[in-house]
Each structure stands twice: as C-alpha cells, then as structure tokens.
Amino acid sequence: MIKKEILFFKEINKTMIPEVGGKGANLGEMSNHKFPIPYGFVVTSYAYEKNAIDCKILKKIEELEKNVDVNNMKELNKKSEELKKLIMGSKISSELQTKITTAYDKLGKNVLVAVRSSATAEDLPGASFAGQQDTFLNVQGKDKLLEYVKRCWASLFNPRAIFYRHKQGFNIEQVKLAVVVQQQIGSEISGIMFTANPTTSNVSEIVVEAVYGLGEAIVSGSVTPDTFIIDKKTMKIKTRAISKQTWKLIRDMKGTTKKETVATNIQSKQKVSDAIVLQYAKIGAAIEKHYKCPQDIEWAIEKNKLYIVQARPITTLNAENKQTSTGSSITAKAILSGLGASSGIKSGPVTIVHNLKELDKVKTGDVMVTKMTTPDMVPQMKKAIAIVTDEGGITCHAAIVSRELGIPAVVGTETATKVLKDKEIITVDANNGKVYKGQVIHKDNVVEMHKELNLKSFDFVTSTKVKVNLAFSDAAQRAADTHPDGIGLMRAEHILTAAKEHPYYMIKKGKSKELQTLLETELEKIMKLFKNKPVYYRTFDARTDEYRNIKGGEFEPKEDNPMLGWHGIRRDLDEPEMLKTQFRAIRSLIKKGYTNIGVMVPFTQNVKEYIETKKIAEFVGLRPHKDCFFGIMVETPGCSLTIEEYIDAKIDFVSFGTNDLTQLTLGLDRNNDKIQKWFTELHPAILKQIAHVISYCKPVGVRTSICGQAGSNPIMVKELVKMGIDSISANIDAVEKIRETVYNTEKEMILDAVKKQTLLKKAKF
Ligand code: PEP
Ligand code: MG
C-alpha cells in the first residue's frame, strides 16, 4: 500500500484499487497508456484514513457505525446524520489541504472538475453497492473542492450503505474512500463507440455514434445519433447515416441535466467530420487491443479536443449472429415532428379521426391520426398500424395504449390533423418522433428487421425482478411472451373500458354487480396466463376528462385540471361503491384460487386515505395482507415524503408512479406537449424522493418497484438497480431491453464487489 495522500493518474495503474478505489484505478490505467482521459488525481484512501486519525474522529466513526441498530429506521437515519456531520464538521488538516489544492492548481487555474467517490470496497453482491457514494459535477474553486472531497467522504455513511455493511457483516474498518478529482468535460459533442458492431456482432467493424450535447441522449434512445460504420482493417468509413437533431442534453453549473434547443443552422449537419470519426476509431481499436476484448466506449469533444470518458467490455456480442450491416441513410424530409411515444417504424394510409363519429373510418393497416386519443378509441387503435396525435406527451393515453399494443406512435405533433390528408401514404418513425411523406427507407428500418429476425427470449437470471405493465386482457399473451416476473401494474380503468359504459355511470345505475362480473372475467383471463406470478392490480384511476365520450361519461364533472383533480383513491373514497365493486371482484378471484394478487392504491397523498381504503376492503371481506398483498403507488410528493406513516399503517409494497411523481414534483402537466422538453424523471428531485422511499422501505422489508414510464428507460433503471430497488415493471415492448439492463448492471456491481473483496483480503491497512 502506497502511503501518499495524492496520486496523479500517471502514478496509478489498474492494480491499485486499495489506494485509489475501482474508478481511480481504471482511469489511471487508461491515462497511463496515453488514451485521452480528462486528466486528474486521486485523494487516496490513505488520505481519508490519515485525516480521520489526525482529526481524532476515526475511533468515533467506528464506534458509531458499530453500535447502530440498523433495523430501527429512525436510529439508522439519526446515526447516518451524526456520522456525516462528524465528517463535514471536521477540518481537513492544513497539510492535506495544501496537497489537494496544489494538485488542483496543476490541472489549471480555477478549472471545473468532477469530484467522484471511488470506494476501495463496496457492499456485497445482492446488496446496494458500487456507485452508491456520491459524485459531484462542475465543481470550481479550492474551497468548493475541499468541501466536496469531504462530501464524498461523508457519503460513505449514507443510511443504505451503513445498513448493508451491517447486514452483510462488512466491517467499516475495511472500507475506505478515495476521491477522484478530474477535469470536467463540457461535452459539446459526444457519443458512443463500439469496437465491434453490436447489432450484427461483426468484429471487423467499428461503430461510432455522435450527438450534440451529452451522450446520455443516445443511451436513452431519445435522440437519433449520426452513425458511422468503419472497416477496422482499412480504417475507412463504410456507411454513414446523418440524423437531424433539434434538442440536446446539457449539464448546468449545478450538475443538473437539461434539454436545450440545437441552433437551427446545425440541426441537420453532420456532427463530427470524417477525420474525427476515424481518429476516434483508431483510439477505439487501440483500447480494444489494450484490454484484449471489444469495448463499449463513451467519448466527448470539448473545444475541439477529443476525450475518452469511459471504456468497458461489450457484453452483448452474439457469436452465432455475424452479419454485415446494410444501413442506408434517410433522404426524405420529415413533414411532422413530435415525441416518439411507442417505438417502431411503419408506413400506411392516413385516416384522420376528427371526432368519435368518424371512428368507423379506421381500417386495419391505417395510420390513425387524431387530436388526442381517448379510451373509447382503443378498438380502432388496435386496428391501426401506427398512431399520430396533435397533443400529448410520453405518458399520455395514446402513448400508454400504443406501447401496450406494440404500435408505433408519435404524439404531440401539434398539427398532424391539419397537415395530413386522408388516404395519403406516410411513414411514422416513432423511434425518432418523425413523420415522412410516402414510404421511406431509414437505417432503423434495417435495424428493426434485424431485431425481428434475431428476436429470442432471454434467459438471464436477475436478482432485481423484471415485470410488465398491462392494460388490456387481449394484450396479456404478448405480455406473458416476454417472460416477466409478474405484472407490476394492471391498470383497472383500461380493463373496464370493455364495459363500453362509464364505470361510475354503471354504479349510479345500480349495475355494480354487472361491473364486478366484467372485471372478474377480464382479470381471470389475465391471471390464468400469470399463474404463480404476482399480479398487482391498481384500483380505478381515470381522470374525469378521459372517459367523457364513453356512454354515461357526459355526467362526469368538468374540471380545469383533471390531472390534479378527482381521480385515484380520493375519488373512490368519495364514491366507495366503486372500490367495493373492485374489492368484491378480487375477493371472488382469490376464492377461485388466484392467490397471487396484490392491490395497489393510486395517487394517495395522505396516509388517512390508505387507512380508509383498507377499512373498505375489510368491509367487503377482503383482508389486506392476509388474503392479498396491499400497498401503494408512490406518485405524489405528499406520499413520498411521509412514507414512514404509510409504513406504520402497514404496506407490503410500494410502486413508484414516476409519471405523476414527475408531473407533480416538477410542476409539468404530463399532457401538455409544449413543456415536454422539461419532463425528465432523472431530475435530482425525483431521484432523491425515490432513494428516500427505498431507504425507509428496504430495512423493514417493504418491497419496492417502479411502474411509471421511467421503468422502461435503461438510464433510469440502472440508477434504480443501484439504489437497491426490488423490481422494475416495464412496458411490454421494453421488457427485454430492461432485463438486459438489469442483468448488466447487476453483473457490473457483482464483479466490482467481488474484485474489491478479493483485493481487500490481500490488502493490509
Ligand atoms: C404513473 O403515474 O407513473 C403511473 C404509472 O400511473 P398513470 O400513468 O396511470 O397515471
Ligand atoms: Mg399515475
């Protein structure tokens, strides 16, 4: 063990995890081999320990951590706070301060840096782990740097980390924290590079993808990058597909990710020159050679300088599946742009539905175009080959239903019903939120074809369960075919559209028995396909405007803000017959032997609602927690921030409804297409609420899941798996991709933990 407080990247190699942590060791290795890594240094684990000894807090830290009762949530949080305060209140010795700030000066005058935790040991596999300590971006100035180094140290005492160390019998004396301080890259243009073609598994090709702004936009699939395929032998570009990019992701000074419009004059231009593409390809090939296996590399350009931000092995190459790519670039000009709400590309004749009377116009194979879909349009949506709407965001009705039905949909185009004409042939490219005149060939069409040809079910085993969201019984087979670990969200209001009459109207007309039978019949069709797997039924949660056109819907009250209005559990508690009808149907199914059901209470903001709901269940003979699982959707800040009260009232599980949680936390109407660019579940305010809820639920055995749209986003899912969520529920079309994300994230975490465990055994502190 090298006893130095500061080690520059040039002094570090991959074996030095005990000194500089996993992240530090990898960055040092790459930097030392002359790969263009943003330069930096590491405040070593030795510095952390020495400073704690000098400040006389090391013993106190060890004592506090050892004596905490981790099964007592309040005490755990209190001790975590105490430990963090101890670190934040301690002074970095002036000697170490000088060493850190002198090193900082060597990176440049007052430069922006990323300050990243790099632990020498993290928790064991199956617990909560690598990446759990904090990282801070865009840090500037010596005082700030010193503060953030301490903040990284303090993050070693997040409640979850303490909890798992205890549960896994891991001793705090074995765990030290190094801090990486690295030049911050502005990422004006960034991208991904695969040193083997991940689509075709062709190892003689390098694929480079480029976007304006942060590369996260590529990973999430929300922006189509320029794609270049390079022949590895000749180092010549074989094909290039240039895509228009109207917005990009940027990171502001606080480190928050934001969307920003791309200047119109460069939106359609090639983002990086051929020369730069080839320069990167050469670097990629060299990294592959160094690590002796194909690499998945993240890169970025700032002020015309090329950087490699990350490199890791490609995990998804399929040796039996070698093909050559035949991508051809798009030549047509988009006539409409919106949000790609349900992926896929399809061409067909337009049928515009201006009002419900025109619904019958829609024939099988048409592209259905309408202002905004409503539940009574679902039968026609099922016939359509693609859907285009004027209004709506990524979680609107059209989006949810089309994802479920597996139909490409572009929502929020603003003018589709005006611009398009009946019977004209268009191509709906929902991967990119675009609509083209005629039938066009896009490179993604080719990729789509490959996907169809190669589709096979995964046999990945993951510790985090991967479930599916479902709305209609006739999509149940498609959902089951994805081999999920159950249904994480069964949206009652969609099932009940089978009645073709407004459910509240039926209740008012005394038809609750009829409604109960219908619900039972529809649910039974689903339950039969999901025997022995949990099915989480969410009680009725339609907004008052959603069902207005269905028979009896005209009696629904008019509200200015239905999204914030009379829906979810608040409505059903005002009109409890609806709740009783649903609970009777569930009770009856349980009696028939379908015991794998859970009841999920939507849109609650006050624990009293939940307590009242349980009383109504008891009243009709359905015993929460005994006959079935009983729990809540966490989709209002009112709920997430008082989670301990729900835990006290007994919940078996929670499921994050991030569509509403985002809408309510960020103050963004889910259905308003003008503001969708701001709608992101990756906002720190959402992540913090999720982490907060998990930290309360985990220790007391309350299961945690997500069923909002963010559960189908790989970037979000990676974060959630690292936070220790128990399951993810994704849309039918995303299950496979999400299972792969979960698998890879867990694998990364396990390898990291095992590697550190082994090294720890060797290391003598
Ligand atoms: C959510 O809000 O994330 C959710 C899953 O519920 P819905 O989209 O039905 O409001
Ligand atoms: Mg919701």
Burial class (CB in 10 A: 0-12, 13-18, 19+), 357: exposed
Q: Are 301 and 205 in contact (CB under 8 A)?
A: no
Q: Lowest-pLDDT range, 147-156, 407-416, 510-519, 629-638? A: 407-416
Distance in Å, CA 295 to ligand 2 centroid: 39
Tokens coding 38: 């943003």
Q: Which residues pair with 192 in a beta bridge?
A: 209, 298
Whether 55 is a known active-site residue: answer no
Average pLDDT, the chain: 85
φ and ψ at 350, to 5 degrees? -80, 140
Tokens coding 446: 């080719």
Regarding the beta carbon of 681 and ligand 1, being less than 6 Å apart is answered: no
Q: Residue 17's closest CA among 222, 232, 193, 176?
A: 176
Using alpha carbons, list the distances in angstroms from residue 673 to 360, 396, 444, 676, 677: 27, 10, 25, 5, 8
How many Å apart are CA 558 and CA 314, to the nearest integer?
54
- Over residues 269-281, the pLDDT tens digits come to 999 999 999 999 9
Q: Are 580 and 616 in contact (CB under 8 A)?
A: yes
Please enumerate in sequence order all residues whose Cβ is within 8 A of that of 79, keeping only pairs 6 or more positions apart, or say none: 64, 65, 68, 162
Using alpha carbons, list the distances in angstroms from residue 624 to 537, 586, 597, 614, 660: 13, 11, 11, 7, 25
- What pLDDT score does 121 carry? 60
Q: Are 599 and 617 in contact (CB under 8 A)?
A: yes
- What pLDDT score does 107 carry? 95
Give alpha helix (H) positions in 530-657.
Answer: 569-574, 576-591, 607-619, 637-640, 643-648
Regarding the beta carbon of 705 and ligand 1, being less than 6 Å apart is answered: no
Is the pLDDT at 440 greater than 50, yes or no? yes
Regarding the beta carbon of 707 and ligand 1, being less than 6 Å apart is answered: yes
How many Å apart are CA 529 and CA 533, to the nearest integer?
9
Burial class (CB in 10 A: 0-12, 13-18, 19+), 306: middle
Characterize 373-385 residue by residue with b for buried, 16 or more Cβ atoms within 10 angstroms of its Cβ, and e for exposed: bbbbbbebbbebb
For a ligand 1 pocket test, name from 569, 707, 713, 720 the mutation site with the most ligand atoms within 8 angstroms of its C-beta: 707
For residue 56, the 8-state DSSP code is T
φ and ψ at 438, to 5 degrees? 70, -165
**Equal fold, 336-448 vs 464-751:** no
Query: Counting ligands in written order, which one lies closest to the CA of residue 711?
Result: 1
Distance in Å, CA 660 to ligand 2 centroid: 5
Amino acid at 170: F
In this prediction, residues 385-400 reach a mean pLDDT of 82
- What pLDDT score does 276 carry? 95
- What pLDDT score does 200 carry? 56
Distance in Å, CA 669 to ligand 2 centroid: 12
Separation of first and last alpha carbons in the chain: 8
Whether 397 is a known active-site residue: answer yes
- What pLDDT score does 461 carry? 67
- What pLDDT score does 433 carry? 82
Using alpha carbons, list the distances in angstroms from residue 223 to 51, 296, 369, 431, 748: 45, 19, 23, 9, 26
How many Å apart are CA 55 and CA 53, to the nearest integer?
5
N residues, the chain:
765
How many Å apart are CA 503 and CA 582, to the nearest integer?
11
Regarding the beta carbon of 659 and ligand 1, being less than 6 Å apart is answered: yes
pLDDT tier, 458 (very low <50, low <70, confident <90, very high otherwise): very low
For 6-183, give the CATH class. Answer: alpha beta
Q: Which residues pair with 563 in a beta bridge?
A: none
Tokens coding 350: 């337009």
- What pLDDT score does 454 carry? 32
Q: Lowest-pLDDT range, 100-109, 426-435, 558-567? A: 426-435
Computed on alpha carbons and rounded to an integer, the radius of gyration of the chain in Å comes to 27
Query: Among the CATH numbers 3.20.20.70, 3.20.20.60, 3.30.365.10, 3.40.250.10, which is that of 464-751?
Result: 3.20.20.60
Burial class (CB in 10 A: 0-12, 13-18, 19+), 263: exposed
Domain ranges of the chain: 6-183, 189-321, 336-448, 464-751
- Please list all protein residues whose beta carbon sits less than 5 angstroms from ligand 2, which is an ion: 635, 657, 660
Q: Residue 58's closest CA among 156, 129, 147, 130?
A: 156
Distance in Å, CA 635 to ligand 2 centroid: 6
- Over residues 302-313, the pLDDT tens digits come to 988 999 987 776
- What pLDDT score does 201 carry? 57
- What pLDDT score does 255 carry? 64
For a ligand 1 pocket test, name from 467, 545, 635, 686 the mutation site with the most ligand atoms within 8 angstroms of its C-beta: 635
- What pLDDT score does 341 carry? 79
**Which element (helix H / strand E) includes 101?**
helix 94-107
Q: What is the 3-state secondary structure (H, E, C) of 683-747?
A: CHHHHHHHHHHHHHHHHHCCEEEECCHHHHCHHHHHHHHHHCCCEEEECHHHHHHHHHHHHHHHH
In this prediction, residues 636-665 reach a mean pLDDT of 96
- What pLDDT score does 605 carry? 98
- Which residue in this structure is represented by tokens 């992926």? 343
**Sign for the pseudo-dihedral over CA of 420, 424, 430, 431:** negative
pLDDT tier, 445 (very low <50, low <70, confident <90, very high otherwise): very low
Please enumerate in sequence order all residues whose Cβ is within 8 A of that of 127, keeping only pairs 6 or more positions apart, or say none: 164, 167, 168, 724
Is the pLDDT at 71 greater than 80, yes or no? no
Q: Whose CA is nearest to atom 1 of ligand 1?
A: 657
Query: Counting ligands in written order, which one lies closest to the CA of residue 709?
Result: 1
Regarding the beta carbon of 596 and ligand 1, being less than 6 Å apart is answered: no
- Over residues 469-483, the pLDDT tens digits come to 999 888 999 999 988
- What pLDDT score does 241 carry? 81
Characterize 313-340 residue by residue with b for buried, 16 or more Cβ atoms within 10 angstroms of its Cβ, and e for exposed: ebeebeeeeeeebebeebeeebbbbbbb
* 676 Rama sector, left if φ>0, alpha if ψ -120 to 50, beta otherwise: alpha
- Over residues 88-128, the pLDDT tens digits come to 999 999 999 999 999 999 999 999 898 988 877 632 233 32
Regarding the beta carbon of 351 and ligand 1, being less than 6 Å apart is answered: no
Q: Are 291 and 311 in contact (CB under 8 A)?
A: yes
Q: Lowest-pLDDT range, 10-14, 327-331, 352-356? A: 327-331
Highest-confidence segment of 257-261, 457-461, 552-556:
552-556
- What pLDDT score does 668 carry? 95
- The pTM of this model reads 0.51
Architecture of domain 189-321: 2-Layer Sandwich (3.30)
Highest-confidence segment of 64-78, 169-183, 586-600:
586-600
- Over residues 575-607, the pLDDT tens digits come to 999 999 999 999 999 999 998 999 999 999 999
Is the pLDDT at 324 greater than 80, yes or no? no
Q: Are 678 and 643 in contact (CB under 8 A)?
A: no
Distance in Å, CA 584 to ligand 1 centroid: 24
For a ligand 1 pocket test, name from 467, 495, 541 the mutation site with the most ligand atoms within 8 angstroms of its C-beta: 541
- Over residues 654-697, the pLDDT tens digits come to 999 999 999 999 999 998 888 888 899 999 999 999 999 999 99
- Over residues 251-263, the pLDDT tens digits come to 777 767 788 999 9
- What pLDDT score does 93 carry? 94
Q: Which residues pair with 258 in a beta bridge?
A: 250
Q: Quick one: how far is CA 426 from the chain centroid? A: 31
For helices 17-32 and 45-54, angle between their N-to-C axes, nearest 10 degrees = 140
- Report which ligand 1 atom has the smallest distance to the Cα of 663: 2
- Report which ligand 1 atom has the smallest distance to the Cα of 708: 3
Q: Whose CA is nearest to atom 6 of ligand 1?
A: 657
Regarding the beta carbon of 413 and ligand 1, being less than 6 Å apart is answered: no
How many Å apart are CA 632 and CA 695, to the nearest integer?
16
- What pLDDT score does 207 carry? 87
- Over residues 697-751, the pLDDT tens digits come to 988 889 999 999 999 999 999 999 999 999 999 999 899 889 989 988 887 887 7
- Annotated catalytic residue, options 152, 396, 639, 707: 707
* CATH superfamily label, 336-448: Phosphohistidine domain (3.50.30.10)
β-pairing, 425-429 vs 409-411, is: unpaired
